[in-house]
């Protein structure tokens, strides 16, 4: 057992508490990572608030970077000291989804119990397969990707979720082609990366839609050609004027029902809505199916950008090293683990791109 420090959720909607926990040694196929940085994603906040249920006590956090400090039996392709990005994408490699190149929706649950417990033996949930609001994690080897030492740990951490989700939604889910037009609803952390993905994919027009003029200005720095205020009367009409037509893809990066209700209105003939943002369980959206049928439009969900992490993360890391992908600019603030509740509050205020806990 390794004694670690973690921010534990003991009641939904309550502040996280800093506790000393026990972390068991890695089992076969697992690795222990001593963390250097973990970013705060809105998904962590929503889980801690009870938006999607879940058992407690739990440790959230799933955008992490660190170095491997222990290896379980049978681990291959990884060595002690490797700097790795730690993702929530645990893939068995053999279920029908993994076998067809869709590891983000692996159907096989983890065969191992949570590696976390309190000193009195009480089990603590390792939320989202990571439990990375902690000084150390034990995860399956399929969840990590080695990255160069020259990359700052904050940049590495961001590639665990927000970056791959946004870029992957455009490149993998929407399959955007050069010269096409895209609307990105929401200019937060994931939205900015969807905008970057559209720029990298060669989009003609990239329309950012957000309720904040400040966020629309930031979106231009990341590649948006235009910005439209979501609070405007029928904002989809303004977007269509800018494009001269409807969008080929609309990427919804916020979990807001009004955004989902409006998303199909931005589409052109044959366009597609890619659903990334996750509303609370039970929330319902409305759309007019006759329009989608008549205009041959589509709607599809995209979990974690439909990425294959050993393929896509090294590609994105190379873009970063070439100066073609902005990562450092996504970091809004750096905090200590004992400041996590203040960092969460700052994230909820809506002004932060990504707050990062640095160890």
CATH number assigned to the domain comprising residue 56: 3.90.180.10
Do residue 121 and residue 102 come from a single domain?
yes
pTM of the entire structure? 0.94
CATH of the domain at 296: 3.40.50.720
- On whether both 202 and 297 belong to a single domain, the answer is yes
Asked whether residue 66 falls in the same domain as residue 215, the answer is no
Q: Is residue 118 part of a domain?
A: yes
User: What distance in Å separates the CA atoms of residue 220 and residue 226, rounded to the nearest whole number?
Assistant: 7
List phi, psi (to 5°) of 22.
-100, 135
Q: Same structural domain for residues 279 and 335?
A: no
Q: How many C-alpha atoms does 135 have within 13 Å on its Cβ side?
A: 13
User: Whole-angstrom Cα distance, residue 67 to residue 28?
Assistant: 18
307 located within any domain: no
Whether residues 155 and 172 share a domain: the answer is no
**Quick check: 59 and 15 in contact, CB under 8 A?**
no
Instruction: Tell me, yes or no, whether 7 and 150 share the same domain.
Output: yes
Last residue of a domain, one of 302, 317, 345: 302
- 138 shares a domain with 8: yes
Instruction: Give the pLDDT of residue 353.
Output: 83
Q: In whole angstroms, how far apart are CA 191 and each of 158, 270, 292?
A: 13, 22, 24
Q: Do the domain assignments include residue 120? A: yes
Same domain, 173 and 124: no
Q: Work out how many domains the chain is built from and give that number.
A: 2
List CB contacts of 170: < 8 A, sequence separation 6 or more: 176, 182, 194, 197, 198, 201, 249, 251, 274
Helix axes 213-221, 189-201, angle to 10 degrees: 40
From first to last of the 359 residues of the chain, give the pLDDT tens digit: 899 999 999 999 999 999 999 999 999 999 999 999 999 998 899 999 988 888 999 999 999 999 999 999 999 999 999 999 999 999 999 999 999 999 999 999 888 899 999 999 999 999 999 999 999 999 999 999 999 898 999 999 999 999 999 999 999 999 999 999 999 999 999 999 999 999 999 999 999 999 999 999 999 999 999 999 999 999 999 999 999 999 999 999 999 999 999 999 999 999 999 999 999 999 999 999 999 999 999 999 999 999 999 999 999 999 999 999 999 999 999 999 999 999 999 998 877 788 999 99
| Shared domain check, 176 and 47 | no
Domain match, 63 and 147 both: yes
Residues 128 and 231 in one domain: no
Q: ∠ CA 26-27-28 to the nearest 5 degrees?
A: 125
Residue 72 domain-assigned (yes or no)? yes
Q: Is residue 342 part of a domain?
A: yes
Does residue 314 sit within a domain? no
Does some domain include residue 310? no
Structural domain boundaries enclosing 173:
168-302
Q: Are residue 226 and residue 188 in the same domain, yes or no?
A: yes
In a domain, 309, yes or no: no
- C-alpha pair distances (Å), 290 with each of 264, 301, 356: 12, 20, 44
């Amino acid at each position: 057992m390794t004694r670690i420090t973690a921010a534990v959720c003991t009641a939904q909607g309550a502040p996280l508490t800093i506790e000393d926990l026990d972390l068991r040694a890695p089992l076969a196929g697992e690795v222990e990572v001593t963390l250097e940085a973990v970013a705060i994603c809105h998904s962590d906040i929503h889980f801690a608030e009870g938006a999607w249920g879940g058992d407690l006590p739990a440790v959230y956090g799933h955008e992490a970077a660190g170095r491997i400090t222990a290896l379980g039996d049978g681990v291959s392709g990884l060595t002690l000291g490797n700097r790795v990005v730690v993702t929530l994408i645990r893939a068995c490699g053999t279920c029908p989804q993994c076998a067809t190149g869709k590891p983000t929706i692996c159907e096989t649950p983890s065969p191992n119990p949570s590696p976390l417990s309190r000193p009195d033996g009480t089990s603590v949930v390792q939320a989202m397969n990571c439990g990375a609001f902690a000084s150390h994690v034990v995860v399956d080897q399929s969840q990590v990707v080695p990255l160069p030492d020259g990359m700052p740990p904050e940049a590495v951490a961001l590639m665990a979720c927000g970056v791959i989700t946004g870029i992957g939604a455009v490149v993998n889910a929407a399959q955007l082609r050069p010269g096409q037009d895209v609307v990105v609803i929401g200019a937060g952390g994931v939205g900015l990366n969807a905008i970057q993905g559209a720029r990298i994919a060669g989009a003609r027009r990239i329309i950012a839609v957000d309720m904040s003029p400040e966020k629309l200005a930031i979106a231009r720095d990341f590649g948006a050609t235009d910005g439209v205020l979501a609070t405007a009367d029928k904002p989809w009409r303004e977007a269509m004027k800018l494009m001269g037509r409807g969008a080929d893809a609309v990427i919804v990066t916020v979990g807001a029902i009004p955004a989902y209700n409006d998303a199909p209105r931005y589409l052109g003939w044959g366009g597609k809505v890619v659903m990334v943002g996750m509303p609370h369980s039970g929330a319902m959206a409305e759309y007019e199916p006759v329009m989608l049928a008549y205009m041959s439009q589509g709607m599809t969900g995209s979990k974690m950008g439909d990425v294959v992490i050993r393929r896509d993360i090294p590609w994105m890391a190379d873009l970063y090293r070439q100066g073609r992908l902005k990562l450092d600019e996504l970091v809004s603030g750096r905090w200590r683990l004992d400041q996590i509740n203040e960092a969460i509050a700052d994230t909820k205020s809506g002004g932060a791109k990504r707050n990062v806990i640095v160890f």
